[in-house]
Structure 1
Amino acid sequence: MPPTPPPKTPEPEDNWPIPKFNLRVEDLDHPGAQLFFAALASPGTDKHSRHNSNGVLEALKYAVIASFEWLYAVPECAPTNVKQILLVLRPMDGVAYTFGSHHEKEIHFSLDHIENSRDRAREEILGVLVHEVVHCYQHNGNGTANGGFIEGVADYVRLHSSLAPPHWRRSAPSREDNWDAGYERTAYFLDWLESTSGEGTIRKMNAALSGEGVTWENARIFEIFGGAKVGALWRRYRVEMGGESVTEDDEHKSRKVEVDETAVRSYNPVYV
């Protein structure tokens, strides 16, 4: 009898709390439905990316793992409350949206949008799935978090998953632009904040929005993890991106706020 082979060493993704996935297609004859399955039926061409996984199940797992890796870093910190994600493909306006209970989430994805993304269907499908799955797992200050921040974090993960659409531009914001415009505008601002405040800044911000009694206001995530109020950080970002010149008044407003350093040093995020 041959020796028993040693147990397989699990891949890193095997350790993440992957939920159960369900799929509902409300119009199988829709061109978007046919394109959805065709686009995910075979591996991609990038040998250096997990984008080359194939099949609907693998695409959903990829979206979950991308969300975990960019928001929680290690399996021990990932939320375990989501037990099931239902993906609904249906004809509708818009792109996609996510809702659900603490344990069960639903992602509704527009078949019309998939059809209109024919030229780059695979990348767009994966990018939208990553964005929407982030909404299943990110913390939100018990429902009080700024909506632009919530959407910006989702696109921040999409950006770092190398799934940004071709129309996204890391362009200089103007004085009329707001940091919480959401989506890619906020995503690029958060990416800048991650680079200037240190690796893990966005993860810490996300974590600080969890826990009983936590709100957007009392979490003070920009002051604590960015070192200044968000308005000052946004002005600094606009200047560094070449969107405007610095005035004496801007210099005064952009000085760092006083932060309780003891609170920062003792910060120990609790994940739920």
Structure 2
Amino acid sequence: MATKPPHNSSLPWLLIALSLLQGSLAVRFGATNNASATPGGQRFDREIGLAYTLEAMPGIANFIWTLFRQPSEGDRRHYYPDDVVNVIIQDLQDGALGETGENNVYMSAKGIETYPPGDGTRIMYTSILYHDMTHIFQWSGKGTAPGGLTEGMADYTVLKSPYYVGGYSTPGQGERWDEGYGTTSRFLEYCDSLREGFTPELNRMMREVYLPEYWNQLLGKDVDQVWREYKAKYA
């Protein structure tokens, strides 16, 4: 989910500077609602809000860094010179619930209209934030990693978070290891069972480039063999 919609840089950002739990660099988090005249944007204001978004974002960032074992600033992906991460509520036209572009997360106002009622509204919203903020901070081999792998890693974060919705994905599902989303997230979880810390290590190795040989280096087998064994386990 990396399509970046048009964006007006003159919009008044609501920004806060926060000292993160690890390291000394202050990362700023911003949020704005560009769809306040739409039903989804109005529901956002009533049931979620900018204050909740800004409160949640630092915790999600630290969860991602902890999950991917990035204790220092040098381990993490940054967006210089400002190093600001924004969440923008916008009227997306492509049917996606959320998208990322550079250091921005675009949350669909139309998607917010479809969220479950009650507590489910914020649960759904926060789950999507975990996914899309992972895209901002993960390594992707500078675009050389398979899209299904990066999407699977983003869903892996959701799977390990307090906002995973049970039943969304099950072990053994799917036809290809790089199918993405729930299928790949469960496959990565299986690889963790073969080698403790596999997924954060694979993410680290993809800082500059993705190579298929990484699977052999970490697991002693190529990815297709690991996938066959995974499918056999849950046949």
Range class of TM-score, shorter chain: 0.7 to 0.9
Asked whether 1:21 is paired with 2:29, we answer: yes
Rounded Cα–Cα distance in structure 2 between residues aligned with 1:227 and 1:37: 51
What is aligned with 2:203? 206
Residue pair 2:31, 2:54 contacting (<8 A) in 1 also: no
The CA deviation string for residues 189-231 of structure 1, in whole angstroms up to 9 with x for no partner, is 0011112211x111110111114xxx322x6221111221000
Change in 2 beyond 3 A, CA 1:71/1:171: closer
Q: Which runs of 4+ in 1 moved over 6 A?
A: none
Asked whether 1:135 is paired with 2:135, we answer: yes
Matching of residues 117-266 of structure 1 within 5 Å: 117-119=115-117, 120-173=120-173, 177-198=175-196, 200-211=197-208, 215-217=209-211, 220-241=213-234, 243=235
The CA deviation string for residues 8-35 of structure 1, in whole angstroms up to 9 with x for no partner, is xxxx952255521222212213332333
> Could you say what secondary structure the match of 2:230 adopts?
helix
Residue pair 1:222, 1:229 contacting (<8 A) in 2 also: yes
2:53 to 44, 52, 56: 56
Rounded Cα–Cα distance in structure 2 between residues aligned with 1:107 and 1:129: 8
Identical residues among aligned pairs (%) = 22
What is aligned with 2:16? none
The CA deviation string for residues 75-95 of structure 1, in whole angstroms up to 9 with x for no partner, is 455416230112111122211
Q: TM-score, normalised by structure 2?
A: 0.80
Rounded Cα–Cα distance in structure 1 between residues aligned with 2:40 and 2:73: 38
What is aligned with 1:113? 111
Asked whether 1:33 is paired with 2:41, we answer: yes
Rounded Cα–Cα distance in structure 1 between residues aligned with 2:158 and 2:33: 24
Residue pair 1:97, 1:109 contacting (<8 A) in 2 also: yes
Matching of residues 62-141 of structure 1 within 5 Å: 62-75=59-72, 78-79=75-76, 81-82=78-79, 83-92=83-92, 93-100=95-102, 105-119=103-117, 120-141=120-141
Q: In structure 2, give the amino acid aligned to 1:97.
A: E
> Could you say what secondary structure the match of 1:124 adopts?
helix
Rounded Cα–Cα distance in structure 2 between residues aligned with 1:94 and 1:76: 31
Q: In structure 2, give the amino acid aligned to 1:70.
A: L
Change in 2 beyond 3 A, CA 1:112/1:77: same
Q: In structure 1, give the amino acid aligned to 2:144.
A: T
| 1:169 positional shift | 2.9
| 1:113 positional shift | 1.1
Q: TM-score, normalised by structure 1?
A: 0.70
Deviation larger for 165-174 or 58-67: 165-174
Q: In structure 2, give the amino acid aligned to 1:63.
A: I
The CA deviation string for residues 162-196 of structure 1, in whole angstroms up to 9 with x for no partner, is 3223451314336xx01100001100000111122
Q: In structure 2, give the amino acid aligned to 1:140.
A: S
Change in 2 beyond 3 A, CA 1:162/1:239: farther
Rounded Cα–Cα distance in structure 1 between residues aligned with 2:76 and 2:169: 32
**What number of residue pairs does the alignment pair up?**
208
> Could you say what secondary structure the match of 2:178 adopts?
helix
Q: Which runs of 5+ in 1 are unaligned?
A: 1-11, 42-53, 244-272
Q: In structure 1, give the amino acid aligned to 2:226.
A: L
